[in-house]
A and B are shown apart, each in its own frame.
Chain A
Amino acid sequence: MSQLRGETARLLAVFQSAGAIRVEADILQPADVLLDLYGEDVRARAYVTSDFLHGEQMLRPDFTVPVVQRHMAESAEPARYTYAGPVFRSQDTGSGRAAQSEQVGYEVFDRGPADEIEAEVFALFHQILTPLGLKASTGDVGLLIAAIEGLTTSNARKSALKRHVWRPLRFQSLLLRFSQPVKEKVLGAGGQLIGLRYASDVNERLEQLADEASAPPIPQSEMDALNDLLAIRGNLPAAFAQLQFLVQRLPSIASAVDHMSARLTALKEAGVDVAQIGFEAAYGLTAMEYYDGFVFGFYADQAGWPAVASGGRYDALTRVLGQGRDVPAVGGIIRPEFTLRLSGGDLL
C-alpha cells in the first residue's frame, strides 16, 4: 500500500510540474447527473446507493464529471487540473475489472490551438509511460463525425448516425438501413391515448416517416468510403497517409485530416516518435461515449489487463454539463496499480 501511495504521489508530482493544480472530488456523487449524462448503462458499471433523505447516489465511476463541474463553476481559463483517488466499478456484467481501483488524472481546459493541446497531453502521458514498455493506440472520433456530415442524405439520418457513433452495432444497423431503399412501414393499430407522449409528436413522426419513405439510399460509393475509413489502422504516419488518400473520396473529412496533420507535427515537436504510435480510425468507439475527437490508450502486453492509461478530447461532455456553456477539454487517467506492477513494485 505504501508503494502504491508513493507511485500515486510520483504521478501527481509529474502532472503538477506540468502546471496542473491538485483538486479533490467527493466519492459520493449525485446519481441524477451521472444518469442524465451516461444513461441507464451507467447503472451496469457504477455502484448505486441511496438514503431516505438524499435519494440515489453513486460511488464515483470516474473523476471527469466532478472535475468538469468544478471547472464550469469557477471557469478561470486556461486551467490544468490533476487528481488522484479510488474509482468504483460494479461487477454486473462480469467484466473481470476490479471493483475499486486507483486513478491519477490530468485534465486541460484551454481555448488555445486544439492540436497543440492534444499533443501536450499525449506527450506528457507518453513520457511517463513509454519507459515502462507500454504501447500507445490512438484514434480520432472527429474523422467519423466529419464523414457522416458529408454523406448525401437527410439531416435526420445524419443526426441519427451521429447519436449512435459510440454504439457500433446500432450504428452499423442504421447505416445498413439507410443504404437500402426504404421498406414501407406497417403502422401499429391505434388505441386509447394513454401516457405522456404528445399526439402531435406521433403525427410529426408519421410525417417524418413519409419523408423518409422517398429518401434515396446513401450511395454505395459513399458507403464504401465510410467503411474504408473505419478500417484504417496502422502506425500513425502510415494511417495518416491512408487518410490523405481517402480525402479524395470523402472530401468532408478534409479539415479533420488537416487537424490530424497539425497534431502530428506538434507531436513530433514534443519529441514523440510517431512511427511507434498506433492509429485506428475506429478506436474509442465502443466504450468511450462523449470522447468526440482525439482519443488514446496505453497498453501492456499482459493478458486480461485494462488500458494502463486512457484519455482524449471530450468537448461534448462539457457542453452537456455546462447547460449552454462549453469549453474545449482534453485529459486522461493513469492506473497507478498497473504502472507500479510494471516497474517491479509491490501492491502490498
Chain B
Amino acid sequence: MIKLGVPSKGRLMQETFDWFSMRGVKLSKSGSDREYVGRVDGLVGIELVLLSAGEIPRELAAGRLHMGVTGTDLVHEKLANWSDVVSPVAEMGFGLANLIIAVPAWWCDVTCLHDLDAIAARFRAEHGFRLRVATKYHRLIRQFMTEQGVADYQLVDSQGATEGAVKNETAEAIADITSTGATIKANHLRILEDGLVLKSQATLWHSKVAQGDCSALIDKVLNAP
C-alpha cells in the first residue's frame, strides 16, 4: 500500500483534490466532513492520509508517507537535508507564495539588506539588544542572513499574525510568506528589494526513505493527457 499525504483542510486540500482529479485520480474525504479519513478512486493500492501540511515533511522524511503534497517552504524549513530524503515530483501551480523580509515602510533609509545590516549595528548600540526579526522560518532565514552577511540581528519566534509584530513592538522587522503583499502593506511594512528568500508553491514530493513502488501513481499524474 502506497501512502499519499495531503493537507487536511481548506483551500490547499481542495486545490490538491482538483489537481489529482484532473489527472484521473479522484481523492475525497470519506465519512463526515469533520472526519480525517480519505478515499482514492481511479488507482488501486493507494491510501489517502489527511494531515496538517506542516507535518507532511517530517512524515516523508521518516518514510511513513511514500508521497505527499506540501509547500516548498515547509520542506526546506523543516528538513535540513531535504534533498537527501525527498525529491520533488511535480510543482502543482497553486499555493504560490514568497518568503520575504519586510521592514516598517517609514524606514525610508532602508530599502535593501545592506541598509538593514547597516542600521542593525546602531540599533544594537542604542537599545542594548539585537534588532529582532519575527518569523516561523528560523532555519531558512538564518541561512539566508548568514549567506548575505547580515549581522547584529536576532530571530524571535512568531507562529502567526507575524505582520503585526512590529506594530506590537515585539520585533523590528519580519520574515514571512506572502502571496499578494496586501497583508504586508496593510500592516505598514515594505518588502526589501533583495529580501526574497524563497519562492514557494504546493509540490508533490516523493520520499526517498519509504519502501514501496510509487511508479504507478507518478506515471499517472505526470503522463495525464
Asked whether A188 lies within 8 Å of B145 as measured between CB atoms, the reply is no
Q: B117 — which chain A residues lie within 8 A by C-beta?
A: 170
Contacts of A44 on B, CB cut-off 8 Å?
A: 139, 142-143, 146
A36 to B155, CA, bound (A): 12
Contacts of A169 in B (CB 8 A): 147-149
Contacts A186-B111, A205-B109: A39 and B126 contacting too (C-beta < 8 A)? Answer: no
The count of chain A contact residues (Cβ–Cβ below 8 Å) is 39
The answer, yes or no, to whether B4 is at the interface (CB within 8 Å) is no
Of residues 113 through 132 on chain B, the ones whose CB sits less than 8 Å from some CB of chain A are 114, 117-119, 121-123, 126-127, 130
A202–B105 contact, CB under 8 A?
no
CB-nearest residue of chain A to B138: A43
User: Once bound together, how far apart are the Cα atoms of A304 and B35, in whole Å?
Assistant: 51
Q: Which of A162-190 contact B (CB under 8 A)?
A: 163-164, 167, 169-171, 173, 177, 185-190
In the assembled complex, which residues on chain A have CB atoms less than 8 Å from the CB atom of B114? 173, 177
The answer for the CA separation of A202 and B172 in the assembled complex, in Å, is: 14
Query: Is A195 a contact partner of B153 (Cβ separation < 8 A)?
Result: no
A170-B148, A188-B190 are known contacts. Are A206 and B142 too (CB-CB below 8 A)? no
Q: Tell me whether A41 is interfacial, beta carbon within 8 Å.
A: yes
Q: What are 21 of the A-B contact pairs (CB < 8 Å)?
A: A36-B130, A40-B130, A43-B138, A92-B80, A167-B149, A170-B151, A171-B149, A188-B111, A189-B108, A190-B105, A191-B104, A192-B188, A193-B104, A193-B106, A196-B127, A196-B172, A197-B107, A201-B119, A201-B122, A202-B106, A202-B109
Q: Is A93 located at the chain interface by the 8 A CB criterion?
A: yes
Which partner residue on chain B sits nearest A174 by CB separation? B114
Q: B142 to A202, Cβ gap below 8 A?
A: no
A197 to B103, CA, bound (A): 11
Q: How far is the CB of A175 from chain B (nearest CB, A)?
A: 12
A198 at the B interface (CB under 8 A): yes
Complex CA distance for A187 and B80, rounded to whole angstroms: 37
Q: A76-107, CB under 8 A of B: which get 1 and which 0?
A: 00000000000000011110000000000000
Q: Decide: A205 and B118 in contact? CB cutoff 8 A.
A: yes
Q: Does B11 contact A (CB under 8 A)?
A: no
Most interface-central of A164, A169, A195 (chain B CB within 10 A): A195
Which residue of A is nearest B141, CB measured?
A40
Instruction: Please give, as numbers and ranges, the residues of chain A lying within 8 Å of B146 by CB-CB distance.
Output: 41, 44
Instruction: From the candidates B104, B111, B150, B152, name the one contacting A197 in the complex (CB within 8 A).
Output: B104
4 closest residue pairs by CB, A with B = A170-B149, A191-B105, A167-B149, A191-B106
Q: Is B33 an interface residue (CB 8 A)?
A: no
Q: Is the CB of B108 within 8 A of A40?
A: no
Q: Is B110 an interface residue (CB 8 A)?
A: yes
Given contacts A44-B142, A201-B126, contact A195 B169 (CB under 8 A): yes
B49 to chain A: closest CB distance in Å? Answer: 28
B interface residues (Cβ-Cβ under 8 A, vs A): 80-81, 104-111, 114, 117-119, 121-123, 126-127, 130, 138-139, 142-143, 145-155, 166-167, 169, 171-172, 188, 190
Taking beta carbons and an 8 Å cutoff, which residues of A are in contact with B?
Answer: 35-36, 39-41, 43-44, 91-94, 160, 163-164, 167, 169-171, 173, 177, 185-198, 201-202, 205-206, 209
Q: Which residues of A contact B150 (CB under 8 A)?
A: 170
Residues in chain A near residue B167, CB distance under 8 A:
194-195
Q: Which chain A residue shows the least CB distance to B187?
A: A194
Query: What residue in chain A is nearest B81 (Cβ atoms)?
Result: A94
Q: Are A187 and B169 in contact (CB under 8 A)?
A: no
Max chain A C-beta neighbours (<10 A), residue from B80, B81, B104, B110 = B104
Q: Are A194 and B110 in contact (CB under 8 A)?
A: no
Q: Smallest CB–CB gap between A230 and chain B, Å?
A: 16
Residues from chain A with a CB closer than 8 A to the CB of B126 are: 198, 201
In addition to A169-B147, A197-B104, A197-B107, 6 A-B residue pairs with Cβ atoms within 8 Å of each other are A94-B80, A186-B111, A188-B108, A196-B127, A201-B119, A201-B122
Q: A41 with B166: in contact, given A189-B108, A201-B119 (CB under 8 Å)?
A: no
User: Smallest distance from the beta carbon of A168 to chain B beta carbons, Å?
Assistant: 8
Contact A173 B109 (CB under 8 A): no
User: Are B166 and A195 neighbours in the complex by a CB distance under 8 Å?
Assistant: yes
- Do the beta carbons of A194 and B188 come within 8 Å of each other? yes
CA of A191 to CA of B154, assembled, Å? 24
The residue that A206 contacts in the complex, of B105, B106, B108, with Cβ under 8 A, is B108
Question: In angstroms, how far is the closest chain A Cβ from the Cβ of B103?
Answer: 8
Residues of B within 8 A of A192 (CB): 105-106, 188
